[in-house]
Amino acid sequence: METKANHLNEKPGFHVWWRLLRPHTLTASFIPVFVGTMLAVLDNHFRPLVFIAMLVAAMLIQAATNMFNEYYDYKRGLDNENSVGIGGTIVRDGIKPIVVKRLAFTFFGIAVLLGVYICMASSWWIALIGSICMLIGYLYTGGPIPIAYTPFGELFSGLLMGTVIIGISYYIQTETLTWQVIVISIPIAILIGSILLANNIRDLDGDKENGRKTIAILLGRKNAIYLLSTLMLISYALTAAFIIADLLPIYSIISFLSIPVARKAVQLFQANTTNVGMIPAMATVAKLNTIYGALIGLSLLLQIIIPLPF
């Protein structure tokens, strides 16, 4: 009989460690740094080394959070060799749990060193904010009451990975922060939270059996999918409003080219009910965040290269 692992087409060797990073989620750290930096460049501020340090630190923190997730889900008995939507390095590939945990702390350590450089180049307040982000990343599945077991996972992920990272990325370039930057971050924050919502829709049955109280569980699958589509619509509505209000350049209209991806994600969720069947739906939501965010960043870059009044 073909196992779920076979369906996932998992490979040994380097691919084991690559899956541990859960690369499809890393755009949730790359896109906010890119957009925040492009907003700074639009205001005539750009420090390449600070940008690179911030980008690497954000991705390391995201990857470490994924590793803590895998470690603690294993320790709590949530994951087994047939679980989908996980890296599977512990339950399917035989990597020792302590190795995963130590690697996560190593990534945090490297991020801290990069953070020291960022603070020296900007402000030591960044150290406090960065520490809070790492703590929440750890507490997402670690600690006595993991955030992942509550209805607040989407809120925390969207706020921290979206608004906070965009704000920090802008601030370390300009050493100031405007309300416009915070407002512009909202659609991306919503789409990042949607990635986690999509993950929780896929894992609804297993999470329910293990005592989690995610939004998807509280609403039920059908209503959770409806919420997902509503959040996507809100993101596009806000984008249109920001263009009309001159918060975003007219070029940002290209972000609407990602609408078919959003539609496809919802359709895939509606057409599938098994964990394996919903994997493409989950991946499409992550792709939506990547494409939308990249197009917003590109629109800001176009405004820099060929300025239009807005």
Instruction: Give the Å distances, CA to CA, from 43 to 34, 174, 190, 268.
Output: 14, 8, 25, 40
Higher pLDDT, 78 or 41: 41
Rounded average pLDDT over 65-76: 86
Tokens of 226: 């409806």
3-state secondary structure of 36: helix
Class of domain 15-304: mainly alpha
Per-residue pLDDT band for 1 (boundaries 50, 70, 90) equals: very low
Q: Give the tens place of pLDDT for each residue, 98-144.
A: 999 999 999 999 999 999 999 999 999 999 999 999 999 899 988 88
Give pLDDT, residue 262.
97
Q: What is the pLDDT of residues 248-268, one digit of tens each?
A: 999 999 999 999 999 999 999
Q: Which residue has the tokens 């969720």?
A: 269
Q: Work out whether the CA dihedral 91, 63, 14, 9 comes out positive or negative.
A: positive
**Is a pLDDT exceeding 60 seen at residue 15?**
yes
Find which of 81-90, 166-175, 277-286 is predicted with most confidence, using mean pLDDT: 166-175
pLDDT digits (tens, 9 = 90+) for 183-201: 999 999 999 999 999 999 9
Query: The tokens of 254 are what?
Result: 């290209």
Report the pLDDT value the prediction gives residue 95, as an integer from 0 to 100: 84
Each domain of the chain, given as residue ranges in start order, spans: 15-304
CA distance 134 to 164: 12
> Quick one: average pLDDT of 140-153?
89
Q: What is the pLDDT of the chain when averaged over all its residues? A: 89
What is the reported pLDDT for 221?
95
